[in-house]
Structure 1
Amino acid sequence: MPQVRLNRFTFERLAADILAGGGLFQFEAHGHSMAPAVRDGDVLTLEPVRGADAHVGDIVLYRNDHDQPVVHRVAVRADRSGSVVLTIRGDAAPGAREAVPAERVLGRVVRIQRGGRAIGLHRPLLGGMARRGIRTAYLDYAWWGRAARAVARSAVGRVQRLRFYRRLAGSILGGSIRCRLATMADVGDLARIYGHSIFTQDDHPSAQDDHPFAENDRSTESSGPDTAGRRLVLVAQAGRRMAGAAMLIRPADQATYPDWWIFSMFVRPVFRGAGIGKDLVRLALDQAGAHGGERVHLLVFEENRPAVELYRKMGFRPSALPVLSRQLDERAAREGRRRVIMTRDCPR
């Protein structure tokens, strides 16, 4: 069966229209809030149901307070002033409960498929635990695996921030790290780093495998502006492995994003602490200056102190840009996290 990726708004509208018309709706679930009853990648089939007819223990698709589609379990059903209100929560996150008016329910899960086989919906233990607010993720082996990996990443990250580790890693890897412009030969490695294709040979048939990729381009860059402008892809190579990458962009919208910008900086965890981030930033500054740029900007979350201190040591300082600063203030009010603009002059 062909698969189509939809954004949340389109998904919610399509599901609502199909279910309102009496049809069944099938989709692939993503996330871990319903583990182990529903796991990431399970295929769910929903039937139409009026919210007033949903029962305690049902797994339903509903619109949350932000009008986003969510699949969670009904824990409590109550009548309030003649209206039915459902208390809905995720099995694996029982503290995150919501009081949902019945009319926000779109459909009820009637089938779960995992690896091509059907999974039983009637699981009294999981339903009972969820209704009592007991975290069902503790029964999921995958949750324990994720928890162990998170602990390991945290421990490794703490070690990598130690000064002696940075010196040791720098001395061991420093000589083998080479930062350069990406070429078409780097397509596969960049896709693995970013989770999607950055550029393809079909998009740029004149590009050769060993020629740097640098063109006027349009990208679906999620963390920055519309990149219909100049874009350079920078990579750090450790032997035959790609250790990190970054985007250097001169957006077409120079009113909001003037000059050059560094976006999507990423260093593979195993290579962190060896100074690769600094090397990529230096290359970005050199390239921006070589292309006539006066300044380079970047965005960083205010609470990301290690990154803020790194950029400070490299000469970046907090700055303000009229249009963008206002947009960032509005987003911080909505999301509760603030990005700050940091800027430095290009080397001469």
Structure 2
Amino acid sequence: MQKLNLGSSDLAELAAEVFSRSGTISFIALGSSMLPTLRDGDLLTAVPEDPFSIKQGDILLYRTGDDRAAVHRVSDVSRVSSHRELFLSSDSDPEDHYRISIEQVMGIIVSAVRDGKSIRIDSVPSGQKQTASARLIARLKSLPRRTSARVFSLASSFRLYRKLCSAILRPMVKYEIHPAEKHSGSPGTQADWDWLNAYLFGRRIGSAQFIRFEQDTPFGENPWLFSMRVRSLFRGGGVGRGLTSLAVSSAELAGAQAIGLLVEETNYRAMNLYRSMGFRIVSFDDLSSGLRERVGKGKAVMLLGILDDSG
């Protein structure tokens, strides 16, 4: 589901909102730390979990120190007096343990889907735990991909590159909206999710998520655009703009008067993109109390695109 993605602050915020109402949330795995169990692009589903029922082997969705969402496996649970400590590790390096607090835990992963098929997540397959040499080989193999990602990220900061990339890509990229999926838990937790995807020759190169919450929730006043992601090679080519336009069109078709999104205050490129499309920054003080609690002052800026007859 290149929808909500690991490593993003908006996933952490959205998960907190959904879990507070006993809902479930689905998102895309991103990264290699949970290899071989989970791969980049796997669709994960998480549910809220009582921290005191967590056991060794569970895969947790938790907040990192910088308020981003991450997923790792519980390697040990210990009790010190009345205090409970959780130790996590990655499946790619199960012997490297680290500690998190109970307060950082948001939910537990209950299922994973790859290429339309469910995969096992209950344990690291026997014989597949990586040795130190295997981890080194894996890192060396991924070096060209990581290096190219940095190069293209740097190139996309130049206007000439962006114009050239956009001119080439625009006529070839196809955009699709996947059927809405309704998640519900207890009454008042329903939300409709549309997957917005960009394809080039059948390969997904970008995605975002269009979400509509129930009216009586902090995010319920208008639909939301979450988790914009474009592959590094294609950044600057207008894919993000195309996905945003698709979300705006979806909001218009749904009869909404506005569409909202969250963006990091330091993500100036994204903020400029949204401004150029008619979005405006909403002052923190103008947000509802519920949204202020979810967004967090100084951590992110709420952008709200007002849809009117002028387009």
Q: Tell me which interval the TM-score lies in, with the shorter structure as reference length.
A: 0.5 to 0.7
- Structure 1 residues 316 and 61: alpha-carbon distance in aligned structure 2, compared to 1, 3 A threshold: same
Q: Tell me the TM-score normalized by structure 1.
A: 0.50
- Structure 1 residues 273 and 63: alpha-carbon distance in aligned structure 2, compared to 1, 3 A threshold: farther
Partner of 1:116: 127
Q: Does 1:166 align with 2:188?
A: no
Separation in 2, partners of 1:10, 1:144: 39
The answer to whether the 8 Å contact 2:153/2:233 transfers is no
Q: Does 1:259 align with 2:222?
A: yes
Separation in 2, partners of 1:293, 1:214: 16
Separation in 1, partners of 2:192, 2:239: 24
The answer to whether the 8 Å contact 2:74/2:86 transfers is no
- Structure 1 residues 97 and 255: alpha-carbon distance in aligned structure 2, compared to 1, 3 A threshold: closer
Q: How many aligned positions are there?
A: 221
Q: How does 1:269-284 map to 2 (within 5 A)?
A: 269-284=232-247
Q: Does 1:249 align with 2:260?
A: no
The answer to whether the 8 Å contact 1:288/1:296 transfers is yes
Partner of 2:173: 177
Q: Does 1:298 align with 2:274?
A: no
Q: How does 1:147-162 map to 2 (within 5 A)?
A: 149-162=145-158
Render the CA deviation track for 1:51-107: whole Å, top value 9, x for unaligned.
xxxxxxxxx76579x9551258xxxxxxxxxxxxxxxxx9979xx999xxxxxxxxx
- Secondary structure (helix, strand or coil) at the match of 1:318 reads strand
Q: Following TM superposition, by how much is the alpha carbon of 1:289 offset from its aligned partner in structure 2, in angstroms?
A: 1.4
Separation in 2, partners of 1:119, 1:234: 35
Partner of 1:341: 302
Separation in 1, partners of 2:58, 2:299: 34
Bigger Cα Rg = 1
Q: Give the structure, 1 or 2, with the largest relative contact order (CA under 8 Å, sep 6 or more).
A: 2
Separation in 1, partners of 2:141, 2:164: 30
Render the CA deviation track for 1:94-152: whole Å, top value 9, x for unaligned.
xx999xxxxxxxxxxxxxx88528999xxxxxxxxxxxxxxx99x94444555664443
Partner of 1:69: 86
Moved more, 145-154 or 229-238: 145-154
Q: Does 1:326 align with 2:292?
A: yes
The answer to whether the 8 Å contact 1:300/1:308 transfers is yes
Task: For 1:180, give the aligned amino acid.
Answer: E
The answer to whether the 8 Å contact 1:286/1:347 transfers is no
The answer to whether the 8 Å contact 1:234/1:245 transfers is yes
Structure 1's unaligned 5+ residue stretches are 16-24, 31-39, 45-59, 73-89, 99-112, 121-135, 183-212, 221-225
The answer to whether the 8 Å contact 2:149/2:233 transfers is no
Partner of 2:250: 287
- Structure 1 residues 29 and 67: alpha-carbon distance in aligned structure 2, compared to 1, 3 A threshold: same
Q: Following TM superposition, by how much is the alpha carbon of 1:282 offset from its aligned partner in structure 2, in angstroms?
A: 1.2
Q: Following TM superposition, by how much is the alpha carbon of 1:254 offset from its aligned partner in structure 2, in angstroms?
A: 4.2
The answer to whether the 8 Å contact 2:72/2:88 transfers is no
- Secondary structure (helix, strand or coil) at the match of 1:298 reads strand
Structure 2's unaligned 5+ residue stretches are 1-44, 62-70, 101-123
Q: Does 1:237 align with 2:199?
A: yes
RMSD: 4.5
Q: Which one has a larger percent helix, Structure 1 or Structure 2?
A: 1
Task: For 1:303, give the aligned amino acid.
Answer: T
Task: For 1:171, give the aligned amino acid.
Answer: A
Identical residues among aligned pairs (%): 25
Q: Following TM superposition, by how much is the alpha carbon of 1:342 offset from its aligned partner in structure 2, in angstroms?
A: 0.2
Separation in 2, partners of 1:142, 1:11: 33
The answer to whether the 8 Å contact 2:199/2:205 transfers is yes
Q: Following TM superposition, by how much is the alpha carbon of 1:236 offset from its aligned partner in structure 2, in angstroms?
A: 2.0
Separation in 2, partners of 1:14, 1:174: 48
Separation in 1, partners of 2:201, 2:224: 28
- Structure 1 residues 154 and 91: alpha-carbon distance in aligned structure 2, compared to 1, 3 A threshold: farther
Q: Following TM superposition, by how much is the alpha carbon of 1:235 offset from its aligned partner in structure 2, in angstroms?
A: 2.3
Q: Does 1:310 align with 2:276?
A: no
Separation in 1, partners of 2:48, 2:139: 25
Task: For 1:323, give the aligned amino acid.
Answer: S
Q: Following TM superposition, by how much is the alpha carbon of 1:316 offset from its aligned partner in structure 2, in angstroms?
A: 1.2
The answer to whether the 8 Å contact 1:232/1:247 transfers is yes
Separation in 1, partners of 2:72, 2:287: 42
